[in-house]
C-alpha cells in the first residue's frame, strides 16, 4: 500500500513522540551503573538484560523477568537481638542476587549463557554469605515494630521518600517484606549515590525505619 505524504508525516510524528517518551523514561537509569547498553553483549538495549516483553523467565512476583536466576542457598543474617525471621531470599531480592551474588553472569539473559561475572573482589559482589549484610526477605509489620521497640510502625510512619506520600509499608516493602529494593532503587529514579531510594546523609535512610 502506498502512503500519502500526510500519512507519512503522521507516522513520523508518532515515532518522534514515541522516542521522546522512551528517552524520558530512561533518563534516570540511562548512564547509571545499571545502564549496560554500551556493552557489546547488550545489543544497545537498556531494559533487556533484566526485562523481556515476551517469553521471559517465570519468577514469582517478578516484573517480566529476563535474567537467569541464581540457584544458590544463602547463609542468612542472624543475631541474638534480632526479632525478625529472615528466610532464603524471595521475590524481588532474588532478582538482584541473580547478578550480585556472583554465581550467575551479568550477561546471562534472554536464554544466552554469559561470561561477564561480578567477581569476588568487586565491591558490588555481595556473595552468597548474607550474614554480614542488612537482613532481608522477612515480614516487617506492626507486630515486629512492637516486639522490637526500636522501629517505626510501618503502617503509620511517612517514608519520606521524595515524591512519596505513603507509609513505609506502601513505599518500601514488597508484600510486607523488607527486600534489597526497600533501600535501593534499581532504576536510579532518585539519582542518589549507590542507587539508594533516599539519601543516607545523617543516616537519613536508616532513620526512616529505625527510631534510634
The residue ranges that bind ligand HEC (CB under 6 A) are 26, 29, 33-34, 46-47, 49-51, 63, 67, 79, 81-84, 92-93, 95-100, 106, 118, 123-124, 126, 134-136, 140, 144, 148, 151, 168, 172, 178, 180-184, 186-187, 194-196, 200, 205-206, 208-210
Shortest distance, CB of residue 140 to ligand HEC, whole angstroms?
4
Strand partners, 178: 138
DSSP 202: G
| Nearest by Cα to 89 from 171, 179, 173, 168 | 179
For ligand HEC, give the closer residue by CB, 72 or 84: 84
User: 79 with 93: CB under 8 angstroms?
Assistant: no
Shortest distance, CB of residue 9 to ligand HEC, whole angstroms?
28
For ligand HEC, give the closer residue by CB, 12 or 199: 199
Give the integer Cα–Cα distance in Å for 105 and 83: 35
Give the integer Cα–Cα distance in Å for 149 and 99: 35
195: left (phi over 0), alpha (psi -120 to 50) or beta: left
For ligand HEC, give the closer residue by CB, 13 or 173: 173
Shortest distance, CB of residue 4 to ligand HEC, whole angstroms?
34
| Nearest by Cα to 93 from 184, 206, 160, 187 | 184
Shortest distance, CB of residue 55 to ligand HEC, whole angstroms?
17
For ligand HEC, give the closer residue by CB, 9 or 85: 85
Amino acid at each position: 500500500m502506498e502512503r500519502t505524504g500526510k500519512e507519512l508525516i503522521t507516522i513520523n510524528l508518532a515515532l518522534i513522540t514515541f522516542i521522546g517518551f522512551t528517552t524520558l523514561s530512561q533518563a534516570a537509569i540511562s548512564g547509571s551503573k545499571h545502564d549496560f547498553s554500551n556493552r557489546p553483549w547488550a545489543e544497545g538495549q537498556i531494559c533487556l538484560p533484566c526485562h523481556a516483553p515476551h517469553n521471559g523467565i517465570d519468577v514469582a512476583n517478578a516484573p517480566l523477568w529476563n535474567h537467569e536466576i541464581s540457584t544458590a542457598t544463602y547463609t542468612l543474617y542472624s543475631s541474638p537481638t534480632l526479632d525478625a525471621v529472615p528466610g532464603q531470599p524471595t521475590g524481588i531480592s532474588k532478582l538482584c542476587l541473580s547478578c550480585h551474588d556472583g554465581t550467575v553472569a551479568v550477561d546471562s539473559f534472554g536464554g544466552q549463557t554469559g561470561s561477564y561475572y561480578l567477581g569476588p573482589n568487586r565491591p558490588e559482589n555481595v556473595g552468597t554469605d548474607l550474614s554480614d549484610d542488612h537482613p532481608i526477605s522477612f515480614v516487617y509489620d506492626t507486630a515486629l515494630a512492637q516486639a522490637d521497640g526500636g522501629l517505626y510502625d510501618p503502617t503509620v510512619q511517612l517514608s519520606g521518600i521524595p515524591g512519596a506520600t505513603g507509609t513505609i509499608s506502601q513505599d518500601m516493602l514488597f508484600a510486607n517484606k523488607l527486600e534489597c529494593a526497600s533501600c535501593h532503587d534499581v532504576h536510579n529514579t532518585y539519582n542518589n549515590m549507590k542507587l539508594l531510594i533516599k539519601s543516607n546523609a545523617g543516616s537519613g535512610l536508616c532513620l526512616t525505619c529505625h527510631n534510634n
